[in-house]
Structure 1
Amino acid sequence: MREQLERRAFLLLLAAVTLAFGFILEPFWSSIFWACAVAVIFFPLQSLLVRYWGHRPNTNALVTLAICMTIVVIPVIFLTTAFVQEGILLYQRLDSGDIDPREMLIKLRDAFPIIDELLVEFGINPNDIRDQVISGVQVTSKFLAKETLTIGQNTFGFLISLALMMYLAFFLLRDGQTIKELMIKALPIGDDREQALFAKFVEVTRATVKGNLVVAIVQGALGGFIFWLLDIPAPLLWGVIMAFLSLIPAVGAALVWFPAGLYLYATGEWVSATVLMAYGAIIIGLADNVLRPILVGRDTKLPDYVVLFSTIGGISLFGINGFVIGPLVAALFMAVWQIFMTDFNDAP
């Protein structure tokens, strides 16, 4: 009886201490998550270095991190700097009235009067809709522009988070296998099940991060290029926004290039508008429709609709980190249920 009581008391203490430690680490969850992602993605490179250079844990981990910094982190820092600069310029043009969203939407309304006619048929006052849309565009535009200012002001915090992420990634790369074995030993789920879940975690993280980032980079670069070619203001800024939006499957970058094409039609730039619409539908859309299923859906073994809903849900709950966390949770959900059916229901 006493032994059972002691066991329960210890398990309660274990849960309490674990929760307390989790709360202590809460401010650093983003850095911890991305450190795990970096370690998972670049671990094959670490293994390759071990194979050719021998067992030099510190050196191999440092070289792997240096390569990660060169091909990922440094380009992202330069891109973020340029993004902030263009965002500040956009904010200044909005604040000075050089760019007037109200005038832009009036031009759209005049160019497409059929929209007003359809609204009247459904008993909706077009003027109310117009005022609401204009107000929303102004608020959203200035919000986005001010957010770029906030990013610039929070550079120090970003660098601290980046340093913590790389610091932890070093130890995860160096001692990852040992940490994995300790977790398997500690968790009371069953070694085979834990191995399967860890394998699924690695598989989905690699596929989601690499796949979504490749799609985002490709769509953002293609979108920024066509905006620059058509002399649309702030092409880099819109390219980065398209890259972020492309993390949302199916719609993504079209939320930028499609309204831009409509505006070009409304202002009489028919050639530029047609080029942008065709380019967006065929070239930018093709990058999403071809690359995403190959890089994300196929490797994660998730249906396209599950990838879509889990990505949107993840982003709505966890912000930018959700484009990985959402599909990861979905994949683990399906893996756990598959294990349950196999081990407990005698399902094949």
Structure 2
Amino acid sequence: MIPRPPAVPPNSPGPSSADECLKRQKVASVALYIGLVLLALWVVRDFIVVVAWAGVVAIALWPLLHRVAGSRWFKGRTTLLATVFTLVIALLVLLPVALGLAQALREAHELNEWFRDVQENGIALPDFVNRLPFGVQQITSWWQANLAQPLRGSAAMKGLHSETVMTLGRHFGARAAHAAMVFAFMLVTLFVIFQAGPRLSGSLLKAARRGFGDSGADLVAHMGTAVRGTVSGLVVVGVGEGALLGVAYFVTGVPHAALLGFVTAIAAMLPFCAPIVFGLAALWLLVQGSLAQAIGLVVFGSIVVFVAEHFVRPVLIGNSTRLPFLLVLFGILGGAETFGLLGIFIGPALMTVLMVLWTDLVQ
């Protein structure tokens, strides 16, 4: 007699029901993971910018970190290496700020004396106004009526003590305190990243390869190269613009030419910010009556900035990332407009991703 197979209870799940249950569990697990990740990002949302800045600096210095880590002085001493790199970065930022503040404090006394003299006697008409080819009479009349008289009771002086100015001062102080806090946390994050060393980069590439395959790991590597090339392009161009304009400041007679050249180099690392610095220097020359020097400084500075921003910087960044000129320019400007200062580095990285995806699509 052939034995009958055991009867399947009517409520017990069959093979298809078990597969559906497993699929639902996987979907629920993915939803849970995504929800936990989003919740974690929301908790640390105020520190995402800090981590992003630390990541940009670490990516830019990663080849140098590997080279120094292989030397006999730092081999196997990851904590010492991280400490040295973090202290060097802190000094590179804090030392110029300290020098600028010290110079500003030295100039504060003279500025205060000039401010008192303006209140009592007004501002004298600059000599260059009389040498203008047109509009001399109109400018002189307006100047005599508004600026040549004692300004103690003028609306401009009253506005300096208004509630709006006090509010702007408090807002500036709050922003400065926030920037100092971000910088401090960035240094701590950088120390942790430097201390992790190659283990961190290896873990990131391993996670990208496991999650997205070899193409995902290659994409992460391309993004790192793009960020590194962007930082190199910004620094090289900024230093070059600062050096050239520093010489121009010295030739035209602008005071503190070296310090002003350093400030210009920092500003030139941001797209189209150098004209603010040499424009103010040209304005100072104009007020002092040096019309030819002011015009020469503006013309020379405009040529330097135009060549650097439209040709040198895109070429430097594009060669390292193999991006076309237009994508580099759009990446820098669009990233700055969308993400602020951090977007200068994120933009070219995203353009690199777009270029890699396009290349894979057409091949």
Query: What TM-score comes out, normalization by structure 2 length?
Result: 0.68
**Distance in 1 of aligned mates of 2:172 and 2:254:** 19
Change (3 A) 1:298 1:185: closer
1:45 counterpart SS class:
helix
Q: Which amino acid aligns with 2:357?
A: V
Show CA shifts across 1:93-132 (max 9, x none): 49974799x9799999984758xx9xxxxxxxxxxxxxxx
RMSD, aligned α-carbons: 4.6
1:232 counterpart SS class:
coil
Q: Which amino acid aligns with 1:81?
A: A
Q: Work out which of the residue numbers 71, 74, 85 in structure 1 matches 2:91.
A: 74
Aligned to 1:62: 80
Q: Work out which of the residue numbers 324, 327, 331 in structure 1 matches 2:352.
A: 331
Q: Which amino acid aligns with 2:96?
A: L
Aligned to 2:318: 297
Aligned to 2:27: 8
- Structure 1: which 5+ runs fail to align? 118-134, 342-346
Aligned to 1:198: 220
Aligned to 1:175: 199
Q: Which amino acid aligns with 1:318?
A: F
Percent identity (aligned): 20
1:18 aligns with 2:42: no
* Contact residue 238 and residue 269 of structure 2 kept, 8 A: yes
Equivalence map 1:1-348=2 (5 Å): 1-49=20-68, 51=70, 53=72, 56-57=75-76, 59-60=77-78, 62-63=80-81, 66-67=84-85, 69-70=87-88, 72-86=89-103, 93=111, 97=115, 111=132, 153=177, 157-158=181-182, 160-187=184-211, 189=212, 191-224=213-246, 226-227=248-249, 230-232=252-254, 239=261, 242-249=264-271, 251-258=272-279, 260-261=281-282, 264=285, 268-277=289-298, 279-281=300-302, 286-288=307-309, 291-339=312-360, 341=361, 347-348=362-363
Change (3 A) 1:193 1:68: same
**Distance in 2 of aligned mates of 1:312 and 1:170:** 30
Rg (Cα) greater in structure: 2
* Contact residue 248 and residue 308 of structure 1 kept, 8 A: no
**Distance in 1 of aligned mates of 2:245 and 2:53:** 27
Show CA shifts across 1:279-311 (max 9, x none): 424556555566413421221222333322322
Aligned to 1:131: none
The worse-fitting range, judged by mean Cα deviation, of 38-47 and 240-249 is: 240-249
- Structure 1 residue 24: deviation in Å? 2.2
Show CA shifts across 1:300-339 (max 9, x none): 2223333223222222332221211122222222223333
1:302 counterpart SS class:
coil
**Distance in 1 of aligned mates of 2:269 and 2:24:** 50
- Structure 2: which 5+ runs fail to align? 1-19, 139-155
Change (3 A) 1:49 1:106: closer
Change (3 A) 1:153 1:19: closer
Larger helix percent: 1
**Distance in 2 of aligned mates of 1:164 and 1:5:** 42
- Structure 1 residue 16: deviation in Å? 0.5
Change (3 A) 1:64 1:167: closer
Q: Which amino acid aligns with 2:49?
A: S
Change (3 A) 1:236 1:105: farther
- Structure 1 residue 51: deviation in Å? 4.8
Change (3 A) 1:9 1:211: same
